[in-house]
C-alpha cells in the first residue's frame, strides 16, 4: 500500500553497478530501508542520487511491505532545501558523523513524533547558523533524552558522573567521569542550541567531551560502534 511520509536520510550504499540502498528515519514508520533500482545510471529517472545525501529531509511516497525486506520508493521530493550543510566542509563533516550516529543508534520501525521533530528542527538550525563548532556535542547529549538515558540532574552537584547509571554520584568507579572532564561535560547541561555560542570549549576540551559522549552511547546502546567519520570530525575541529 502506498503512503506518504517525511524522512531524513541516514545512510546510503551502492548496490551493484546502478542501484542504491538507502536507510531513512521516517516520520510515520521509524527506520526504513529502500532499494532504488537503477538510480545511478538512469538519466530519465525523477529520483536522483543527490537526494540521498546524509541528513537530507525528504517527502517520500513509498510502498512499505512490513515483511523485513527492502521497501520501494515511488516518488521523492525535497522537504527542506539546505543552504549550507552540503557545501560547508565543517557542516558536511558534522552531517556525516551524526548520520552515522543515528544509523547506529535508532533501530525501531515505529512512530516517534517527538524524536522526528527534534531531528528535523536540529538540522535546520545547523543549516542556518554559523557558530556550529559545538553543535554535535549538544545534539548528542540532547539525543539521549529520546533514547532513554539523559543524565539525571537531581544530583548534578556531585563530583562524579556515572556513565553507566546516567547520574551524578559521590562514589568513583571505572565508569565515572571526574575532575576537569566533568566540569567540561556539565557546560552542556540544560542549554539550547541558541546558547551554544556561550559554551567556552577549546579544541582539547571539545575532544574530551566528545569522547565522553561516545563512551556514554557505547555503554547504553547495544550494537553501537564508533563512527568511521569520528577521526575526520576530530581533525576538523582540532
Would you list the domain boundaries of the chain? Answer: 1-81, 82-238
**Contact between 12 and 22 (Cβ < 8 Å):** yes
The band of 68, judged by pLDDT with boundaries at 50, 70 and 90, is low
Contacts (Cβ under 8 Å, ≥6 apart) of 227: 97, 100, 101, 104, 233
Statement: the pTM of the whole predicted model exceeds 0.85: yes
Q: What would the grid cell of residue 122 be?
A: 536540529
Q: Which residue has the higher pLDDT, 96 or 40?
A: 96
| The residue to which cell 549550507 is assigned | 84
DSSP 221: S
CATH topology for the 1-81 domain: OB fold (Dihydrolipoamide Acetyltransferase, E2P) (2.40.50)
pLDDT tens by residue, 172-221: 999 999 999 999 999 999 999 999 989 999 999 999 999 999 999 999 99
Across all residues in the chain, what is the average pLDDT? Answer: 94
Instruction: Give the three-state DSSP class for 43.
Output: coil
DSSP 14: E
The band of 41, judged by pLDDT with boundaries at 50, 70 and 90, is confident
Domain 82-238: assigned CATH number: 1.20.1440.120
Residue 65: per-residue pLDDT: 79
Amino acid at each position: 500500500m502506498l503512503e506518504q511520509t517525511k524522512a531524513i536520510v541516514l545512510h546510503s550504499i551502492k548496490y551493484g553497478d546502478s542501484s542504491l540502498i538507502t536507510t531513512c528515519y521516517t516520520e510515520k514508520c521509524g527506520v526504513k530501508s529502500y532499494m532504488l533500482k537503477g538510480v545511478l545510471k538512469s538519466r530519465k529517472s525523477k529520483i536522483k542520487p543527490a537526494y540521498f545525501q546524509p541528513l537530507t529531509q525528504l517527502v517520500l511516497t513509498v510502498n512499505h511491505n512490513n515483511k523485513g525486506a527492502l521497501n520501494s520508493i515511488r516518488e521523492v521530493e525535497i522537504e527542506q532545501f539546505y543552504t549550507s550543510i552540503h557545501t560547508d566542509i565543517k557542516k558536511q563533516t558534522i552531517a556525516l558523523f551524526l548520520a552515522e550516529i543515528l544509523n547506529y543508534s535508532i533501530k525501531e520501525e515505529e512512530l516517534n513524533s517527538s524524536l522526528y521533530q527534534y531531528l528535523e528542527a536540529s538540522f535546520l538550525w545547523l543549516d542556518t547558523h554559523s557558530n556550529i563548532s559545538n553543535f554535535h556535542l549538544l545534539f548528542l547529549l540532547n539525543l539521549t533524552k529520546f533514547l532513554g538515558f539523559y543524565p539525571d540532574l537531581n544530583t548534578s552537584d556531585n563530583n562524579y558522573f556515572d556513565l553507566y547509571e546516567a547520574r551524578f554520584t559521590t562514589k568513583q568507579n571505572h565508569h565515572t567521569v571526574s575532575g576537569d572532564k566533568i566540569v567540561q561535560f556539565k557546560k552542556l547541561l540544560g542549554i539550547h542550541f541558541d546558547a551554544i555560542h556561550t559554551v567556552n570549549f577549546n579544541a582539547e576540551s571539545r575532544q574530551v567531551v566528545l569522547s565522553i559522549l561516545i563512551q556514554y552511547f557505547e555503554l547504553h546502546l547495544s550494537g553501537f560502534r564508533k563512527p568511521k567519520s569520528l577521526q575526520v570530525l576530530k581533525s576538523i575541529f582540532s
